[in-house]
Amino acid sequence: MYAKTQALPETVKIQSDNGSLRLQFSTKYNPIFGGKRKHQGLGMKDTPDNYQKAIAIAWRIEGDLQHPDWQQLFDPTFAKYGLKTKYTAELKLATPIPEPEPEITVGEMWEDYLIWKQPQLQPTTFKTIFCGTYTNIIKGLHWDHSQHKFIDNGSEIYSLSVNDSRLEQRIAQQTASARNRTRIEAELSQAFGRLQSLGKTKLTVNPFVTISKNVENKADKYKSTITPSGDIKEWWQVDGIGVDPEEEDRRAFTKEERDAIVNAFYNSSSRRHRQAASLIEFLFLTGCRSGEAFALRWQDVFIGRDKNYIRFNKSYNGRLRNTQVTKTGEVRLFKIYPNLNDLLLRIKPADVNQTDLVFVNTQGNSYNTNLLGDLWQEARCGTKGKVYRYPGIVTQLVEEGKISCYLSPYHTRHTFITLMAHAGTDLLLLATACGNSVEVIQRHYLGVDTEADFPNI
């Protein structure tokens, strides 16, 4: 047997019998099992994975037996619980067991969850991540760069019921990144928890918690953990940030890596990369969100003795092709300091129109997340069945060993906050300028400095 690392049913125990797993029912159930204590074989060898499956089965059976309507819920054939037995005739039940009602499908559960979730999210996050990325994963759709369309990857769970035995196998087959897989499993776990609270399922065990717990991570140092609510938490994630995945990952570039990235953009042989260099430097020097930089106009930049600040009051979303309020819905004033002042004076045209965008691409248009991703990570294009890959600046630096790892453009924000916080910047000033809070900066950016010493006092 294996160590109990989670709560186990009290009246339906799991035992090992000659190398196989079986269930043992409490004597309180003797009357319904012909007056005898019941043992039920599971047809599973005694292995760690099978033990986890046995726990899920035991919880479901115990939940049915302890329910006030147990005579309608409990299935004496055990077929409801995925078992095949011959034990039915000798049971003494007061009423016949009705055919179980079909469970809701994952797709129905997910669509209902989206309606509930939408008011809690920014329009961009809801449309691109939840209705786009996550829904495509559930439907088993994968973007094929060579064909420029979504194709079925065989891992669809949208049409499966929430108690379908194929759920775990399908999720294991998904071609999504490990990061997106763990996130969608966490969202499905929350969706199922809501389903239970609404009484729309008879299942007593969350199948998506079971699936998540069976995900193996061999790197102990970076092993993901599971919260009490069943969500998966990666090693770099922190509590209290919110639902935005980009805000959860607090990793940052070092100052040297930051400078290497900025210099690589300025010194690139590609005009597109050189054109974007000032935007990259600006993101690193302000920690603003990329959409805020895309929407910034010269009328929001005040340089002078009386006024010396940037006003962040809007954000541009390239996918939705609209300009909206900032993520927090607030207007922020960012105080300009010497390095930022030098950048702005260097890129400001002599004949500037105050309504002009501060940062435009080589075609004179606004930047967007996709374009920035092409320049930062990589661009791909397909023709005649072939996909051509054009590594971005940061990807190249990683491949050349000039920076330690790849981080997304959003980490320019985390880098700015981290470097400023550790440099002794007033935390209230920093929090106000970045649309954050002092508590968040103290908890999530001011880690322990392993090189610091106690003063000799």
Which domain CATH number covers 431? Answer: 1.10.443.10
Are both 30 and 171 inside the same structural domain? Answer: no
What is the Cα–Cα distance from 242 to 377, expressed in whole angstroms? 26
Are both 274 and 331 inside the same structural domain? Answer: yes
Domain edge (last residue) among 178, 202, 235: 235
Residues paired with residue 38 on neighbouring β-strands, in sequence order: none
What is the Cα–Cα distance from 326 to 360, expressed in whole angstroms? 19
- Maximum CA pair distance of the chain? 95
What pLDDT is stored for residue 376 in this prediction? 92
Are both 305 and 418 inside the same structural domain? Answer: yes
Average pLDDT score over residue span 127-131: 85
Higher pLDDT, 319 or 31: 31
What pLDDT is stored for residue 341 in this prediction? 93
Average pLDDT score over residue span 142-166: 82
pLDDT at 88 over 80: no
Are both 130 and 25 inside the same structural domain? Answer: no
Phi then psi dihedrals of residue 380, to 5 deg: -130, 145
Are both 270 and 383 inside the same structural domain? Answer: yes
Task: Determine, yes or no, domain membership for 87.
Answer: no
Task: Determine, yes or no, domain membership for 376.
Answer: yes
How many contiguous H segments (helices) and E segments (strands) does the chain have?
A: 18, 14
- CB atoms under 10 Å from CB of 343, counted, come to 17
Task: Determine, yes or no, domain membership for 132.
Answer: yes
- Minimum mean pLDDT range among 13-17, 90-94, 96-100, 311-315: 90-94
Structural domains counted in the chain: 3
Burial class (CB in 10 A: 0-12, 13-18, 19+), 395: middle
pLDDT at 328 over 70: no
What pLDDT is stored for residue 397 in this prediction? 92
pLDDT tens for residues 410-421? 899 999 998 998
Average pLDDT score over residue span 272-289: 94
What is the Cα–Cα distance from 263 to 397, expressed in whole angstroms? 11
Collapsing DSSP to helix, strand or coil, 412 comes out as helix
Average pLDDT score over residue span 80-106: 60
Task: Tell me if 166 sits within 8 A of 179, measured CB to CB.
Answer: no
What is the Cα–Cα distance from 337 to 340, expressed in whole angstroms? 6
Task: Determine, yes or no, domain membership for 399.
Answer: yes
Residue 318's pLDDT band, with cuts at 50, 70 and 90, is: low
Region of 203 on the Ramachandran plot (φ > 0 left; ψ -120 to 50 alpha; else beta):
beta
Are both 190 and 332 inside the same structural domain? Answer: no
User: Using alpha carbons only, how large is the chain's radius of gyration in Å?
Assistant: 28
Collapsing DSSP to helix, strand or coil, 402 comes out as coil
Are both 122 and 218 inside the same structural domain? Answer: yes
Collapsing DSSP to helix, strand or coil, 40 comes out as strand
- Minimum mean pLDDT range among 39-53, 222-236, 305-319, 372-386: 222-236
pLDDT at 99 over 60: no
Residue 248's pLDDT band, with cuts at 50, 70 and 90, is: low
Average pLDDT score over residue span 328-345: 87
Average pLDDT score over residue span 96-118: 79
Round the average pLDDT of the chain to a whole number and report it.
Answer: 79
Task: Determine, yes or no, domain membership for 347.
Answer: yes
What pLDDT is stored for residue 347 in this prediction? 93
Average pLDDT score over residue span 41-48: 85
Average pLDDT score over residue span 203-216: 62
| DSSP for residue 266 | H
Are both 277 and 418 inside the same structural domain? Answer: yes
Supply 267's token pair: 């010194």
CA angle 288, 294, 299 (to 5 degrees): 90
Task: Tell me if 263 sits within 8 A of 318, measured CB to CB.
Answer: no
Are both 73 and 222 inside the same structural domain? Answer: no
- Name which of 269, 288, 389 is nearest 336 in CA terms: 288
Are both 67 and 119 inside the same structural domain? Answer: no
Task: Determine, yes or no, domain membership for 182.
Answer: yes
Whole domain around residue 75: which residue ranges? 12-81
- Minimum mean pLDDT range among 13-17, 106-110, 320-324, 364-368: 320-324
- Name which of 351, 358, 395 is nearest 283 in CA terms: 358
Average pLDDT score over residue span 370-377: 89
What is the Cα–Cα distance from 90 to 93, expressed in whole angstroms? 9
Average pLDDT score over residue span 62-79: 79
What pLDDT is stored for residue 217 in this prediction? 41
What pLDDT is stored for residue 205 in this prediction? 78
Instruction: Give Cα separations from 284 to 58, 249, 265, 287, 293 (angstroms).
Output: 53, 16, 13, 6, 11
Task: Tell me if 77 sits within 8 A of 85, measured CB to CB.
Answer: yes
Are both 32 and 174 inside the same structural domain? Answer: no
- Name which of 157, 182, 152 is nearest 169 in CA terms: 157
Are both 274 and 400 inside the same structural domain? Answer: yes
For the ranges 87-91, 99-103, 196-200, the one whose mean pLDDT is highest = 196-200
Task: Determine, yes or no, domain membership for 131.
Answer: yes
| DSSP for residue 388 | E
What pLDDT is stored for residue 66 in this prediction? 80
- Of all residues in the chain, the percent with pLDDT exceeding 70 is 77
Instruction: Give Cα separations from 442 to 153, 280, 426 (angstroms).
Output: 43, 26, 11
324 membership: H or E segment, kind and range: strand 322-324
Task: Determine, yes or no, domain membership for 240.
Answer: no
pLDDT at 179 over 50: yes
Supply 65's token pair: 């037996």
Domain edge (last residue) among 235, 266, 297: 235
Domain edge (last residue) among 40, 66, 81: 81
